[in-house]
Amino acid sequence: MGTYGTFVEPTQYWLQILLEACSKDCSESLRGIGVDPVEETLGPLEQVLAQSQEKSEVSLLFGAAGETSGEQTVFCLKRGVRLRLRKVMEKHPSEYARVVVDMHLAYLENMSAIGGLHPDFKQNERKVKKSAGIDECLIEQRPVHIYTFEDILKMHNASGCEVLIIDAEGSDCAILRSMIQSCERGFFSWPQVIRFETRGSLYCSNGDGVCEEEEDVLFKLQQHHYLLVELWGDATLVHQPALSACHRLAAWADAYFMLRCYVCRWLKFVVIEDFVNVSCIFDGFGRGSR
């Protein structure tokens, strides 16, 4: 669920790691649901799936995920702007300017946000305008339908998901609250692994780098027996009951994460026995739960 990283085309190392947490083996098809509110992003992913030689059972849903169903507005880059400016910049004498314009247009393509402008949009827009020598507005508002976590799984007749990856430019916490509400009511199984963006300094108005909304969601997830194994620009959590029941998942967590106690600062690799019978677990950056 997001606008940047996608399990459909896992070119980034962290996405490959997360996919390894799934229970499928090499002979099975990848099963997943991708959600994106921008047609220009969704279209290429559909082409990737159509041209892929690997077996997959992936559904791509045009829309956005959120806490409540309904209609909203997505703030995004104007349709066709990047392609048009690329053609304009082909004649520009400065190679540096061409690189700068295309780089920041790529950022803008990945800054689509629901209900308001991404905090970094204006800054990148100014850099594009300055380097390209243009003065047009690059922002576009489009209507988009919001689906809850429950809506999405019911549409696909799914009982849950093993790995939930969210990069929704400020809407991550709303999606997680939707997930928690559905799982609390027993409608779906709890995801075994969750990763979402934690960049409170961007999305919170207090400007102190701490986002109370993110803190609250992390606390609620920990109350539901999630272990925080990584916290930096993104948070990764693993469901402890799943670790206790699944040796494969415990081995995966042991292979990729190190824990640090924020009291004694002791850093260690996660061994399976400690992960399953946990009394003090912290992430490699000094933040965790007890």
| Integer Cα distance of 174 and 183 in angstroms | 14
How far lies 225's CA from each of 180, 216, 242, 257, in Å? 12, 15, 10, 18
Query: Would you state the pLDDT for residue 76?
Result: 95
Query: Would you state the pLDDT for residue 16?
Result: 83
pLDDT at 54 exceeding the cut of 60: yes
Residue 144 phi, psi dihedral angles, 5° rounding = -145, 145
SS3 letters for 92-104?
CCCHHHHHHHHHH
Query: Would you state the pLDDT for residue 211?
Result: 80
The band of 73, judged by pLDDT with boundaries at 50, 70 and 90, is: very high
pLDDT at 146 exceeding the cut of 90: yes
- The string of DSSP letters for 136-185 reads ---EEEEEEEEE-HHHHHHHTT-S--SEEEEB-TT-HHHHHHHHHHHHHT
Mean per-residue pLDDT of the chain: 83
pTM (two decimals)? 0.84
Task: Convert the pLDDT of each residue in 196-212 to its tens digit.
Answer: 988 765 556 555 555 88
From 2-16, 51-65, 150-164, the region with the lowest mean pLDDT? 2-16
The band of 14, judged by pLDDT with boundaries at 50, 70 and 90, is: confident
With beta carbons less than 8 A apart as the criterion, state whether 223 and 232 touch. no
